[in-house]
A and B are shown apart, each in its own frame.
Chain A
Amino acid sequence: DQQVKQNSPSLSVQEGRISILNCDYTNSMFDYFLWYKKYPAEGPTFLISISSIKDKNEDGRFTVFLNKSAKHLSLHIVPSQPGDSAVYFCALYQGAQKLVFGQGTRLTINP
């Protein structure tokens, strides 16, 4: 059973436009959510997080939105830049330190 789902394996966006990556989860007990970015041959890099007491968190070009009733979170990147091309994972905490990851979405930013 997949507790965290990223239903889009890939996404292609034009440079300068907005990239929107989506993530759905099944367990309403999850209460802290993170996004990681991964380049080839590197480990995942932390991007941004959000607690369930909030519905939005911003950090520069990155904004994460949380819809608890729909069990859905999204990552908005605006404006998208070529260096944003990577695989993006949403991750949720289950227990103190166990992260549960989605399958990832490969984002490609086209010039």
Chain B
Amino acid sequence: DAGVTQSPTHLIKTRGQQVTLRCSPISGHKSVSWYQQVLGQGPQFIFQYYEKEERGRGNFPDRFSARQFPNYSSELNVNALLLGDSALYLCASSQGTLYQETQYFGPGTRLLVL
């Protein structure tokens, strides 16, 4: 079975641009979460979506937005990119919103902002 997939794998943008990252969850999983991992740190929670609704949001500015589609895939959008947005963006899926479900991560999209 395919795991969580993310595209693109790498991306280079310049300051002020906008970027869209994509995630396909494991088949049967209805919940998708997004995390940002900067170099030398652990992943930080950005958003969680379940059944197309936002169920959780981390401490990130409004430049960050996301959505989930009827097939449970998801997109993360970041507007007005800053140098500090350079990071590995991870998508994780789980079956639902039951407390303490294991989240399974994709390989990530590495974003470099110049």
Q: Are these two chains actual partners, yes or no?
A: yes
Interface of A is mostly: strand
Q: Does residue A59 face the partner (Cβ distance < 8 Å to B)?
A: no
Question: Within 8 Å CB of A45, what residues of B?
Answer: 105
Contact stretch, chosen from B12-20, B43-51, B68-76, B78-86: B43-51
B58, closest chain A residue (CB) = A98
Pick the contact of B43 from A51, A93, A99 — CB < 8 Å?
A99
CB within 8 Å of B: which of A41-61?
41-46, 49, 51
- Given A98-B58, A103-B41, A46:B102 Cβ within 8 A: yes
Q: Does residue A25 face the partner (Cβ distance < 8 Å to B)?
A: no
Number of chain A residues close to chain B: CB under 8 A: 26
Question: Within 8 Å CB of A102, what residues of B?
Answer: 42
CB within 8 Å of A: which of B92-106?
92, 94, 97-106
Pick the contact of B107 from A42, A93, A95 — CB < 8 Å?
A42
CA–CA, A97 and B92, complex, Å: 10
A101, closest chain B residue (CB) = B42
- Given A43-B90, A43-B108, A97:B103 Cβ within 8 A: yes
Q: Contact: B100 with A98, CB < 8 Å?
A: no
Q: Contact: B105 with A96, CB < 8 Å?
A: no
Question: Within 8 Å CB of B21, what residues of A?
Answer: none
Interface string of A62-104 (1 = CB under 8 A from B): 0000000000000000000000000001010101111111111
- Enumerate chain A interface residues (CB-CB to B < 8 A): 4, 6, 32, 34, 36, 41-46, 49, 51, 89, 91, 93, 95-104
